[in-house]
Amino acid sequence: MSQLQPVRGTHDLLPEEMRRYRLVVESARTAAECFGYHEMATPIFEFSEVFKRTLGDTSDIVTKEMYTFTDRGGETITLRPEGTASVARAFMSGGLSQHLPLKYFYHGPMFRYERPQKGRMRQFHQTGVELLGVAEPLGDVEIIAIGVEFLRRLGVWDRCKLEINTLGDTESRRAYRDVLVTYLSQHRGKLSRDSQERLERNPMRILDSKDEGDQRIVAGAPVYSDHLNQASRDFFAKVLEGLDALGIAYSINPRLVRGLDYYCHTCFEIMCDDLGAQKTVMGGGRYDGLIGIMGGPETPGVGWASGVERCMLLINREINPRRPIALIPVGAAAERECLVLADVLRRRGLYAELGYSGNVGKRMKRANKLNARVAVILGDDELAKGVATLRDLDSGEQREVAMDALPQQLEAY
């Protein structure tokens, strides 16, 4: 019988990696909470229309990467490839437009069928924040500040860099689109087949093309920032002023864009060269047109998403588990007493390990393997005196402690 393996592009998070995962998620959660964001969760699958409306029928994610299937009821269902569309759907289906502004934090698995590589899996995890109902530049500044605070708490911000650009408003986007189409039409024959189709349907998506030939052509395209109206320039200036006030370093990347029509104004990425080719740690921006495209009320929005696995790769220190208290019973009576004692300690929030079998020597070896901080040895002699022997496993010192004072003494460890 062949040995069962995880599906290609998936990965088990065993305890050592899970500690890194939790550190990433907790760092993001606590950073978001400091700004007044509340945690929420959406289902891992949605009706496929949720993503087709938002990501577009011609995007690579929809045409090549989505896990879509028909369920037993005949509904077309998709495993979520990203979180923002699901949050927007929850906003609409929950009738939450009367409660704006809304501040959300989320985390969880996402699914894309793509070539697995370092930092990119078919089932991967993201953390993200979304701010709905705030049209002012201050919202963009806040979203970026949350991301920076998250990476600071994780201890990796000093190795990251923020790149930012503006996509302008709808008027600016239309003006740039006309200029872009004129330029790209001159190179139509050299564009990939996908991009030739996009030239007719949504030329902005060509800017996101992964095809190397397309990228060479795009490199010579007119720069978006040269075609902004004054209102868009003013909006971006206020965002940069906010970042300057907070001391957040950035570089303006005029080639940083989003191909989808509902994005506007600020877009940004935070990157780390330590990750190699897949160096983007976080990406975000403003998407004022998203909820309207989905059929809901026109609602401004801005947010970011960050790959948990990529952040895990940046953690260059060991994350050791909490050190337990090892209970070492000697004899049947002591076994029962240690069982009760373990319950008492756990109810007080202490981490107590009670071995299942073995003599004192074997149990002590297990305590050392677990990196226990202290051992509580209890035998017939201790029971008769109403005490326990407490051994400090770092120093080797040991002493007797009265049983009724033991829980309080152990809290010091």
The answer to whether the CB of 264 falls within 8 A of the CB of 168 is yes
Say if residue 101 is preceded by a cis peptide, omega within 30 of 0: yes
Q: Which residues pair with 329 in a beta bridge?
A: 378
Structure confidence by residue, pLDDT tens digits, 315-364: 988 899 999 999 999 999 999 999 999 999 999 999 999 988 888 899 99
Query: Domains in the chain, start-ordered, CATH in brackets?
Result: 15-169+229-314 (3.30.930.10), 325-410 (3.40.50.800)
Q: What is the pLDDT of residues 279-300, one digit of tens each?
A: 899 999 999 999 999 999 999 9
Confidence of residue 115 (pLDDT cuts 50, 70, 90): confident
Is pTM beyond 0.75? Reply is: yes
Share of the chain above pLDDT 70, in %: 97
pLDDT band, very low/low/confident/very high, at 60 (cuts 50, 70, 90): low
pLDDT digits (tens, 9 = 90+) for 215-245: 899 889 998 888 899 999 999 999 999 999 9
The mean of the pLDDT values for the chain is 92
The residue type at 109: P
Element (H, E) at 21: helix 15-34
Q: Cα separations (Å) of 353 from 100, 215, 327, 371?
A: 48, 57, 6, 11
Q: Which two tokens stand for residue 318?
A: 């060991």
What pLDDT is attached to residue 243? 98
Type of residue at 191 = L
pLDDT at residue 208 greater than cutoff 90 = no
Q: Quick one: pLDDT at residue 1? A: 45
Q: Are 292 and 190 in contact (CB under 8 A)?
A: no
Looking at residue 383, the DSSP 8-state letter turns out to be H
Task: Look at residue 278 and tell me whether its pLDDT is greater than 80.
Answer: no
- Give the integer Cα–Cα distance in Å for 87 and 195: 30
Residue 119 predicted with pLDDT over 70: no
Distance from C-alpha of 195 to C-alpha of 215, rounded to nearest angstrom: 11
Between 211 and 315, residue with greater pLDDT = 315
- What is residue 315's predicted lDDT score, i.e. its pLDDT? 94
pLDDT value at 65 more than 90: no
